[in-house]
Structure 1
């Protein structure tokens, strides 16, 4: 910005004060002339003008300093404050807060993008492996090759479905409707959605939830979380096993547990069950495992304000718990 433009902006900023000062000076000179017969107005006029000039110089210097600091705000993440000046503390203190908030947000976005890129890179790698196996199997044309193709095709479909679910999370904030939800209804619908899994695995569901129990959550996303947990419970249950979904009041919280009597998880693997793509020993034996389901459950639960935890013992089954705020 040119000096002339800066001066014009400064005078425009101070025009109200200059007008009042000039009006006050003229009024005082007029009253002095009328009531006190003061004929010499040049001296007080010069003194008044000099005082105005000194004020404008000092104020202009302050305006210039503020202007320079404002220009620095464009590139500097933090502006040094002059604690002795109220304007500095009010204006630049708030600008520093805004800078800090935006820097935090930018860091979170970068971390999210980096994590997302890692996830999709892993998915692409997984699917490339399936495509390679299908390609080799198709050249053989044997019965075993067709079974391999069918198995790998199932893995491709599972990976693609998980990709779609991850992309849907981008719309989470626009697709989140917290409301009073009947927990028994949500659990029943989730079990019905996984009915084929229960039938194919020969596992039986059991619901022990009060039909009059309500919680504060988003019904669609809560149902999605339960489906993921139930899918894991069924997958690692023994044939003719039982998956129990029950509720329990604990203070102002409602604990929803999904318990199975399946193969369980090693104690040393428990802290990592919510990590993306972690499948553990059980997942390595089940080639359809993607290691993304529980990661997404925790991701959604955190944004819904729910707590999630898991207990398990090798050979004695697992118990997954979701903690809700009761809404009575």
Structure 2
């Protein structure tokens, strides 16, 4: 609080002070007037000047006496993350300041206790989700093994449908697991220098059954090794989510084939990975909301397979990693997602 604000808060006190002084002068003047004596106007002005000077001196003294306390309160009010300033409040100069200090310390303690309580509950929830997802992934693996052993020509189509639904279930569980881990992202990443093409090839290999099933051919337009600073597991999730969406919305008709293209190039001190499909594209009115949570859009309502969380999580992960993700699309002509690995925005480069 500066001195100007300090004076604004005390305008009522200053007004009452001058009113009381004026009242005293008027009473004295009337007393002299009744007695027939005269009073000099200079004496009245002199009294006002002395009174105002004393008031101003007192206000300066009162402000500087409490200035350190006001500064500490201002630090607390401007703090967006750290409330530990409350613990460092100086010695109060009045009973009012002592009351403020007790209120702040009590509020700090109550908030701390509640935060600890909710953090513990959140940790238990995350632990439960992780355990549950891992338990669900075990029968999925067993189903895959049984399908491989039991697959025959007569039942090939049925087994293929079961395998497809099993892949969707596995992907849904993975998404839930990544969503649960995002809240503790700072404890669950390992930044290293990675060859981004090796990650792309792993994504392609992990989705090869779906790519073959829907006659979609991946193309990587870069033969040289390109390294970026990122986390292997999290960037795999982002690229894999884009590829899964591309497959979902690029299913070729019988006798047709489509492509998914991966391009890597440098631009303005950053490396850009673009992933383009030849699917149904994203309507213009949906483009600005692609990365919103639970937004399925026109295409999601058509297929009834979208949860609206995949691209939201991909955006969240990129923000946590210091990367950027954008999309360009035209309805009926496919979509292109861009991931920017920009050194200046990377939170791991100091």
- Tell me the TM-score normalized by structure 2: 0.52
In structure 1, distance between residues paired with 2:71 and 2:287: 50
1:251 aligns with 2:232: no
Q: How far is the alpha carbon of 1:194 from its aligned partner?
A: 1.5
- Name the counterpart of 1:261: 278
Which structure 2 residues correspond to residues 52-67 of structure 1 after superposition, within 5 A? Answer: none
Indicate which of 69, 83, 102 corresponds to 1:88: 69
Of 306, 311, 316, which aligns to 2:323?
306
CA shift digits 1:93-120 (9 cap, x unpaired): 54445576459xx9xx99xx9xx9xxx9
Q: Aligned to 2:311, what secondary structure does the other structure show?
A: helix
Q: TM-score of the superposition, structure 1-length normalised? A: 0.55
Look up the SS of the partner of 1:173 in the other structure: helix
TM alignment of 1:208-227, pairs within 5 A? 208-227=221-240
Between the aligned partners of 2:224 and 2:236, the Cα distance in structure 1 is 16
| Structure 2 residue 189 is matched with structure 1 residue 176 | yes
Q: Which aligned pairs between 1:192-207 and structure 2 lie closer than 5 A? A: 192-207=205-220
Tell me the distance in 2 between the aligned counterparts of 1:309 and 1:219: 20
Deviation at 1:281, TM superposition (A): 2.0
Shift, 1:92, TM fit: 4.2
Note the alpha carbon deviations across 1:204-233, whole angstroms, 9 max, x for none.
001123432111111110011000001111
Q: Secondary structure at the match of 2:319?
A: helix
Residues 156 and 245 (structure 1 numbering): CA distance in 2 closer, same or farther, change over 3 Å?
Answer: closer
State how far apart, in whole Å, the 2-side matches of 1:174 and 1:201 are. 38
The count of residues paired between Structure 1 and Structure 2 equals: 211
Asked if 1 retains the 8 angstrom alpha-carbon contact of 2:76 and 2:83, the reply is no
Moved more, 242-251 or 92-101: 92-101
Structure 1 runs not aligned, ≥5 long: 1-80, 121-145
Contact 2:328 2:337 survives alignment (8 Å): yes
Distance 1:290 1:241 in 2: 24
Are 2:346 and 1:317 equivalent residues in the alignment?
Answer: no
Aligned residues: CA RMSD: 3.6
Q: Does the 8 Å contact 1:264/1:312 carry over to 2?
A: yes
